[in-house]
Structure 1
Amino acid sequence: MADPSTYRPAVGTIPEQPGVYRFRDSSGRVIYVGKAKSLRQRLNSYFADPAGLHPRTQTMVFTAASVEWTTVNTEVEALQLEYSWIKEYDPRFNVKYRDDKSYPYLAVTMGEEFPRVQVMRGAKRKGTRYFGPYAHAWAIRETVDLLLRVFPVRTCSNGVFKRAGQIGRPCLLGYIDKCSAPCVGKVDAEQHRRLAGDFCDFMGGRTERYVKRLERDMLQASHDLEFEQAARLRDDIQALSRAMEKNAVVLPDGTDADVFALADDELEAAVQVFHVRGGRIRGQRGWVVEKVEDVTTGDLVEHLLQQVYGDTGGEGGSETNGEAVPREVLVPHEPPALGEVEDWLSGLRGSRVEVRVPQRGDKRTLMETVARNAGQALTLHKTRRAGDLTTRSKALQEIQEALDLPEAPLRIECYDISHIQGSNVVASMVVFEDGLAKKPEYRKFTIKSLAEGSSDDVASIREVISRRFRRFLSEQEAIAGEQEAGAALTAGADPATGEILDQAPSLDDEAPEGRPTAIDPQTGRPRKFSYAPNLVVVDGGAPQVAAAAAAMRELGIQNVALCGLAKRLEEVWIPDDDQPVILPRSSEGLYLLQRVRDEAHRFAITHHRQRRSTAMTASELDAVPGLGPARKKALLAHFGSVKKLRTASVEAIASVQGVGPKVAQAVVDTLNPAPGDTAIADKPVAVDMATGELLD
């Protein structure tokens, strides 16, 4: 750990303006992002007396190796920039809100020509309207089934929709009037879009006008003696009423509000939010947060509002800002920068948003209900988490003891090889930190040193380990170069010539070259191999471990432990040891190693299948220069097969739309090479895997 005094900014160099600051560790990774009304006052508080800081803040300060900042004009800009940086860098010492489950949403794909109603999970997509979240997917389907009587929007997949249009016959829902059947032209695109818009309006809380319109139409039909039509409208009204009954009125006067509550202890907090639209609860959601930094309840609320509304109207957003951000946001405690938060939310909504703590009445009662849900969620989470945290800590400790490591292996990398009889040989690297998979840092490799058909797993392991740590060393050299350049700039010297500059740059200048960083300055993206693991695991026994050890030894890699896990008896092999380490079958350490190995195996097989699929679908036309997927598809559609295309003349090929004379000549030359020309043999072709014959 670094002494904070070694990287404390010089007196008077920190500006007094509002801004956002970042702490980085010795590897250049951003470990904390914060904002302040006065950067000087806030940053000085970290360095004045580190011993007096909160234990978690103290750990952060001693883990960091540098600090940098960016000034902004207003605190609202600081709020926005802080959220952007937290999302970009995922700092380990910042509060992280994790959804306590994967919630289903009712989604309407308004970005499509014929919008579709469906259940969706995961990241939101642009051009799609979302309603919810709901506790269960079946609740969404029940609601949709009721509303399709009145708003017959399509619910089928794109494949079913296209197939129905091709055969000219709608699906069952089209026959029972639960779909307007735009696939066969019963309604045009504009009419169907109006239906989808009405569906969204109803789900958004504007319900009364549709009920009143149906009641008016029913009375008119009855007056005109059209009793069958009146009966259908009556059933529609009943369907809408049943859908509305599923969400009881909790706030009067059609209030739109989001109600937040939290329950916390010294280490964690559980957060719940009820989304109220038109006075009715339209969705509920929950998060659990670890207090990795010293924060008050008001700070938690501020970070939570950033988390919930930060992506509103962005690439992943789908609702209009007015729907995503309600008029009122009810919270258990006011955030410290209340005015700035309200201004920020108002800017997202496009009209005034009020953030306040309810004191009495229906809103206070609803807040108490949400708080009870948060308390129950925290209790349930701690019951589940206790065993999980204990198990992971125990597993890492057992691995440390079994392999005689100086410390627990907090970062584990595992490598596996995948192929079929030496074809399409690939490798995988998976990363586990603190016993949990870190999928953004997974890597794929294509083995280059083996001849096609060779299946030397030992040589493959050696190549992959060499490539991984060669990249690590090169990136460390790049970081070291940046450090040297930064030191020269700080000293007031030109890093290229060594000459003393007239004036050294201010510390608040954005000069990433002056600090070690895990971000590549050329691409702006994180470097892929800039962090060394504590433990490398290879899938295999003594030969694979020996190959990996040799590769690491050649590159001078030290302080990185190595072991192999053999599948047959689940033996753990370590370098230069004739006997394996046998962990008990009930060992949590062995179970963690098995999970890491199995994940590497899964990831390698997935990569291998992708490459094999690409190779099997290759064609002789892939070798034609200037012939892309669209032209290739047009040629095959016109001639029917490569065999017929081979016999076609240049003029016939050039007559296909999009194919010019030069490309046509290239097709003929490639498919009909001159005698003795073997270039085509090196091109990918389609082969029957059963007979070995060349396919058309």
Structure 2
Amino acid sequence: MTTSDYKAIAPTLPKEPGVYRFIDAEGSILYIGKAKQLKKRIASYFGDKKHMPHKTRTMVKNAQRIAYTIVETETDALLLECTLIKKHQPRYNVMLKDGKSYSYICIKKERFPRVFITRRVIKDGSTYFGPYTSRQRTKDLLELIKTLFPLRTCTYQLSAANIEKKKFKVCLEYHIKNCLAPCVAYESEEEYNKKIQQIKNILGGRFAAVKRHFKEEMQLLAADLEFEKAQVLKEKLRAFEDYQSKSTVVSTTIEEVDVFSIASNEKDAFVNYIKVINGAVINSYTQELTKNLNEEDKDILTYSVAHLREKFNSTASEIILPFEIPLSDKSLRVTVPKIGDKKKLLELSQKNVRYFLLQKQQKAINNIKKQNSTERILSTLQQDLHMKHMPIHIECFDNSNLGGDFPVASCVVFKNAKPAKKDYRHFNIKTVQGPDDFASMR
């Protein structure tokens, strides 16, 4: 891909975060990368190449086009990049050999629930929060939670019968105040579950309820003249907002689903397709269609859903759409979401498809501007030279010699006001003796 190819698409590149893909002439993905700002990151590949690694220069040279997917946050871009790299394994990407997935914080479904970090999502009714891209950040968050809310870490079966029979004894965690010993009924199930609810509020991003809780705690500490502890609690409360709640591109509540959206104008239509498997976006594709009979969006989307599902061999039993459409496959479940994770996926698809339509319109405007500029130049030249026709094809000749010997000539060609370098010619003249430009021209 040349710098001129890049300059042609540069005005239409988005400034949002996302994932970009360099694709060769055969349609193979050469490289997948993430960006906080797609426009700025892609531009970096076409700047000063003196300090650019040879491998990167070769990759850019072999690329035929650049595709991209817009997401909401830089974290979403990182997650989607990781998923796509594992799926496509591009030649120029560093291969992920450890096969590890993302970290989650699990609230176990059990009496007096434990809270811990895991990489496995097990469908046993437990509640999972994440994914978190940084393992250390997840540890810090869990440590913060356990500092604020002492929880048990043991694996005992804390049934009412076992506690009543006094099967357990307090351990070191109780003595160092990391746990309030629900195993011996020092803490009631009701009080323990109140802490779990506050933890869910923190991890789910519902800070208002948490803030109310801690403000009450801080007031109590202040009333007891525990000002230092109140200040520590205040600082930790501020830290909550630095943590992510949930990601749009990876979900623990969605299994396999296809997401479709459409954007159109009088002439063109774009349909975006997002494929979700095991809760992760593994593919995003936008199809362009040309309207012939002023078809409605409903008709275009009906056709595109069937076509794209067949093209990508989809087996999803549910599809997410912006509105209801008639489908021949009655086994498909159609969802038009209003809230929740599915709504977020639909909004992500709509954001991408709207940008493709905007990009097409911007390209058309740029082409008109270029065309107008070319016509203006040629029209001015026609008027200045008093020509009958616009000079869309121009040939320029020049002669030269070295002290009357070795005469040569050259020809340069312009088509539509642009150099046509393939038509340039150089002539060694053998039939003329001496410095005779007129004879050389003949």
TM, length-normalised to structure 1? 0.24
Report the TM-score when normalising by structure 2: 0.36
